[in-house]
């Protein structure tokens, strides 16, 4: 089973750049999209159905054209959970979960703190609340995959210039420490489970030809609970796919 996570930076823009053609070629079983930047009524959902997917969308009700997450699945989920039950996050459309017979798939678009102190404070509060939310969720859903844009580089290997970026949101010591603690509650960073090489990134700035020079950050993840370790087959970054400033990341499970 192939599960893709992809921050499309606007699903309508991605579609105009060949998203559906790529989807047909890659043929994943499930796709988690972040930063869809669209309300459901702005989309032609029949196009996703024709592509072979059930589609489920969590919009940002507080601001049109902002944030938003979606799950596409060839298998119909047993249940879809929209949001985490905390309104200040749910109004930004940041979490959607699909429950299947043998595991649950949670898609998350974590806040960025790059616009200033106010949003960085919001991000840090989110990280604290998200940890509590997931630990409670694991009681009922021990077979859990969390994927999405975390807006955090965990280790120096995950960023092109760790020295110059040591005070940048997304690579702050407190964010990296949070990531270490979060993994320690029982999650596997599936990409690093298979791949320890450097210069493997999933996001590049649009500025200064960063993607061409591979000056990137690895901020998109598939995390799987330790209980799913034997089901993990492979994890890769599909850095040749170019509909967005991010690229898709792929997880294969049995």
Looking at residue 245, what DSSP letter applies?
Answer: S
Structure-token match 């649950």, residue found: 104
For residue 46 the two structure tokens come to: 């029949």
Residue with tokens 């850095």: 239
**Rounded CA gap, 24 and 240, in Å?**
16
User: For residue 171, which of 203, 146, 194, 193 has the smallest C-alpha distance?
Assistant: 203
Angle of CA points 90, 252, 102, to nearest 5°: 65
Residues carrying an active site annotation: 149
């Amino acid at each position: 089973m192939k599960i893709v996570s992809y921050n499309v930076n606007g699903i309508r823009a991605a579609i105009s750049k060949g998203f559906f053609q790529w989807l047909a070629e890659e043929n994943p079983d499930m796709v988690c999209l972040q930063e869809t930047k669209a309300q459901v009524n702005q989309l032609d959902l029949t196009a996703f159905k024709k592509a072979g997917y059930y589609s489920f969308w969590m919009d940002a009700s507080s601001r049109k054209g902002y944030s938003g997450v979606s799950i596409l699945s060839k298998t119909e989920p047993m249940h879809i959970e929209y949001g985490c039950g905390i309104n200040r996050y749910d109004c930004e459309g940041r979490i959607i979960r699909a429950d299947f017979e043998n595991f649950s798939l949670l898609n998350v678009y974590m806040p960025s703190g790059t616009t200033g102190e106010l949003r960085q404070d919001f991000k840090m509060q989110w990280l604290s609340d998200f940890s509590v939310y997931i630990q409670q969720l694991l009681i009922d859903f021990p077979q859990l995959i969390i994927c999405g844009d975390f807006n955090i580089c965990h280790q120096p290997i995950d960023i092109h210039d760790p020295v110059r970026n040591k005070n940048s949101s997304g690579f702050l010591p407190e964010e990296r420490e949070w990531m270490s603690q979060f993994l320690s509650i029982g999650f596997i960073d599936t990409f690093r489970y298979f791949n320890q090489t450097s210069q493997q990134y999933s996001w590049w700035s649009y500025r200064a030809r960063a993607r061409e020079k591979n000056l990137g950050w690895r901020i998109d993840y598939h995390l799987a609970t330790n209980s799913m370790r034997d089901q993990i087959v492979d994890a890769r970054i599909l850095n040749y796919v170019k509909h967005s400033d991010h690229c898709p990341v792929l997880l294969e499970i049995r």
